[in-house]
């Protein structure tokens, strides 16, 4: 399952010590194993990111698997717990014990694998589609590393694509910052927006709290009278959707703090098929949970 057990247990002890000790009173040295077992059992029926968002119940005790960033400044303990989230990464991760198969980058949150990325360099004659083909489409997708994370990134030094399910190249959508990506910092790659922003702890926690959307499986009878089954899937924002909603919410907050009022108008540039409805939905959710720096609801 590619779980870093030491990180997971350390996070739980740091943020929920009383609950851990309660489990320890009942299970002693088997406590850690009970926690891991409960998570693995849930993964048989629940996607990992949903389990992280909602928490796991271990023998009647509910444990949180991450701590969201507090929406206001009213609780120092909530902020301290948020800071206890453990973000870790490993390059050239050997994920298959039976072969020498590796993936370029894996990122874990509190010991749980959430992001897998494959990197290619165009100077070597490879591009973002080569990353998709070599590291996702030709691999054994039954391995848990291709089931548990919510973000599969294919990167070249100039372009990026993202998927929540890496089983088809059609699932990979553009994750570019511009029509032609440009580095924000001198000397960095044009895909700097990915490793500078998309991989940050603050934004990863935002994905879990606000952005990831689960669409359940449905069955319906089509016009020909045939029963159709559509599998469940996860929606993840493209970079322009995340940027637009996040930047607007932050600007509204700044405007309210400066003027003590609303009233600004915004023009958001989305082309056809760019996901306007989802951007609006994410924006509404962010605005609904917005607090000023002095803890007043906007």
The pTM is what? 0.93
Residue range 86-122, pLDDT digits in tens: 999 999 999 988 888 999 999 999 999 999 999 999 9
Verify that 63 and 102 share a domain, yes or no.
no
Q: Which domain holds residue 248?
A: 239-288
Residue 198 and residue 124 share a domain: yes
With helix as H, strand as E and coil as C, how does the chain read? Answer: CCCCHHHHHHHHHHHCHHHHHHHHHHHHHHHHHHHHHHHHHHHCCCCHHHHHHHCEEECCEEECCCCCCCCCCCCHHHHHHHHCCCEEEEEEEECCCCCCCEEEEEEEECCEEEEEEEECCHHHCCCHHHHHHHHHHCCCCCCHHHCCCCEEEEECCCCEEEECCCCCHHHCEECCCCCCCCCCCCCCCCCHHHHHHHCCHHHHHHHHHHHCEEECCEEEECCCCCEEEECCEEECCCHHHHHHHHHHHHHHHHHHHHHCCCCCCCCCCCCCCCCHHHHHHHHHHHHHCCECCCCCEC
- Label residue 238 by pLDDT band (50, 70, 90): very high
Q: Are residues 37 and 92 in the same domain?
A: no
Structural domain contains residue 224: no
Specify the pLDDT at position 193.
Answer: 96
Residue 259 included in any domain: yes
> Cβ(181)–Cβ(159) under 8 Å?
yes
Count how many domains the chain has: 3
State pLDDT tens for residues 174-222: 999 999 999 999 999 999 999 999 999 999 999 999 999 999 999 888 8
Residues 64 and 111 in one domain: no
Residue 269: pLDDT over 90: no
Specify which residues 94 forms β-bridges with: 102
Residue 216 lies inside a defined structural domain of this protein? no
């Amino acid at each position: 399952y590619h779980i870093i057990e030491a990180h997971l247990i350390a996070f739980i002890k740091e943020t929920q010590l009383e609950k851990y000790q309660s489990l320890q009173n009942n299970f002693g040295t088997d406590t850690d194993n009970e926690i891991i077992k409960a998570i693995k059992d849930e993964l048989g029926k629940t996607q990992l990111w949903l389990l992280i968002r909602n928490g796991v119940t271990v023998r009647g005790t509910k444990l949180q698997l991450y701590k969201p960033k507090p929406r206001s400044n009213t609780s120092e303990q909530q902020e301290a717990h948020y800071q206890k989230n453990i973000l870790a990464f490993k390059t050239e991760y050997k994920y298959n014990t039976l072969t020498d198969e590796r993936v370029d980058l894996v990122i874990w949150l509190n010991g749980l694998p959430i992001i897998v990325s494959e990197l290619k360099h165009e100077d070597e004659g490879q591009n973002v589609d080569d990353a998709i083909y070599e590291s996702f489409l030709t691999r054994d997708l039954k391995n848990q590393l291709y089931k548990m994370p919510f973000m599969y990134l294919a990167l070249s030094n100039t372009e990026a694509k993202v998927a929540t399910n890496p089983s088809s190249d059609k699932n990979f959508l553009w994750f570019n910052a511009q029509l032609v990506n440009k580095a924000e910092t001198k000397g960095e790659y044009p895909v700097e927006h990915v490793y500078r922003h998309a991989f940050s702890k603050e934004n990863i926690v935002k994905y879990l709290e606000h952005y990831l959307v689960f669409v359940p499986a449905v069955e319906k009878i089509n016009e020909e009278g045939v029963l159709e089954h559509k599998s469940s899937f996860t929606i993840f924002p493209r970079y322009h959707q995340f940027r637009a909603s996040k930047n607007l919410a932050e600007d509204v907050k700044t405007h309210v703090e400066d003027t003590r009022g609303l009233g600004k108008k915004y023009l958001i540039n989305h082309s056809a098929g760019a996901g306007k409805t989802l951007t609006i939905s994410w924006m509404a959710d962010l605005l609904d949970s917005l607090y000023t720096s002095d803890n007043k609801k906007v």
